[in-house]
A = this chain, B = another copy of it.
Amino acid sequence: MYQWATDLFPICRSLTGQGVRDTLSYLQQQIPELTIESIKSGEQVFDWQVPQEWNIKQAFIENESGERVIDFANSNLHVMGYSEPIDKIIELEELNAHLYSLPNQPDAIPYITSYYQRRWGFCVTENQRKALKPGKYRVKIDSTLEDGILNYGQLLIKGRSDKEVLLSTYVCHPSLANNELSGPVVTTALAQWLKCLTTTEYSYRIIFVPETIGAITYVSRHFEHMKANTIAGFVVTCVGDNNDYSFVPSRSEKSLADKVALHALKHSVDSFQQYTFLQRGSDERQYCAPGVDLPVCSVMRTKYGEYPEYHTSLDNLDVISPEGLQGGFSIIQQCLLLLESNHKYQVTVLCEPQLGKRGLYPTLSSMTEDYTDVITMMDFIAYCDGEHDLIDIANKIGCYATDLIALANRLFNEGLLKKITE
């Protein structure tokens, strides 16, 4: 995963344009089944319109001596996203009004965009800005803003059921590592893993979209189907650093996705930050909007906005690590495994089953044996009433539901349990 992130890091992504296509093509090499869709500029998607396509060849600020004091070639963050083209010579004072920097982080280039209003601008470090002497500067942005297409990638892995789990990640940030690339690379690894499973209970809809407009476009094209079939979903973002784990719930804060994510986090990582829906910030804004209301939450490492490098050039490949990505991958994998096994069971006999005759219960009563496993089994059976699902029962017993799966399968194979389908 870290290698993929390294390969993708230099590409200048935005909402639209060649950078997105290059990124999707690269991912398609890892998952050949990924299809890349195109939507024309100007198409109405709910309350929005697909914007024009933006591409950029080069950009720089040259001083009077012809030195390129700022060069897009050094960092694609140097140009404000969706900058209109410009090529003129201006005084420092005028230039300054088009420069964006962070006084409190003097070595960081901020990540700034102006998607829906035509502007031009350069993002620079505070130190770069301070180094500029009065005088004339040539500012050149060789970009195009024209009717074109918006792209996204999608993949559907069919399971036994038509019910779907959504994995959504975004591909619209330029060279930003944790708050961008960790998402697509972990999602790609999850897609590879899911494809390797012989069979899954649920189908998996996996999408790589530009944030906001891409998610809105995707929902607008698949609304009825997603509304009818999505049982849970996860926005995959900020899953590459090695610090915290974090959780942002769906709008209802009690969807199946929330239940699964909270249970997995509680039992499989040491600690995590629990946010409320008010602290959302990515595409769950669209998936959980009133009337859309898909059961989508977000399970992350350190949440966007909660680490100092966020949305600056410092969110680079040093912020993420193979271990960090592996942790992000694992926690979402745990959620999906749990979803796959989270059935409701009902015992097939009245009163307790006689487990002794099946070799599942000690035939000798004694106070000195360790009955922990037997007690867990009896407790599990006691709640197999067709109403509690595996996670409910695990929450009752105080264990990790994943640890009950083998037991459930054994009792199921003994004919003592039946699965309840909703």
A353 touches B383 (CB 8 A): no
Does A382 make an interface contact (CB < 8 A)?
A: yes
Is A311 part of the binding interface, using a Cβ–Cβ cutoff of 8 Å? Answer: yes
- Taking a contact as CB atoms closer than 8 A, the residue among B219, B291, B356, B397 that contacts A116 in the complex is B356
Question: Quick one: closest B residue to A367, CB to CB?
Answer: B311
A290-308 toward B: CB 8 Å interface, digit per residue (1/0)? Answer: 1111000000000000000
Interface pick from A85-93, A106-114, A323-331: A106-114
Given known contacts A278-B379, A365-B113, A382-B285, A350 and B397 CB-to-CB distance under 8 angstroms: no
A115 CB contacts on chain B under 8 angstroms: 363, 365
Number of copies: 3
Residues of A in contact (CB 8 Å), total 60
Do residues B289 and A220 form an inter-chain contact, with CB atoms below 8 A?
no
Report if A278-B46 is in contact (Cβ < 8 Å); known contacts: A100-B366, A352-B289: no
Known contacts A102-B368, A311-B367, A350-B46; is-contact A382 B116 (Cβ 8 Å): no
A80 to chain B, nearest CB (A): 8
Contacts of A189 in B (CB 8 A): none
A215 and B351 contact, CB distance less than 8 A = yes
List, in ascending order, chain B residues with CB within 8 A of A219's CB: 350-351
A105 nearest CB across to chain B (Å): 10
Kindly identify which residue among B47, B81, B117, B364 contacts A351, using a CB–CB cutoff of 8 Å. B47
User: Is B290 within 8 A of A364, CB to CB?
Assistant: no
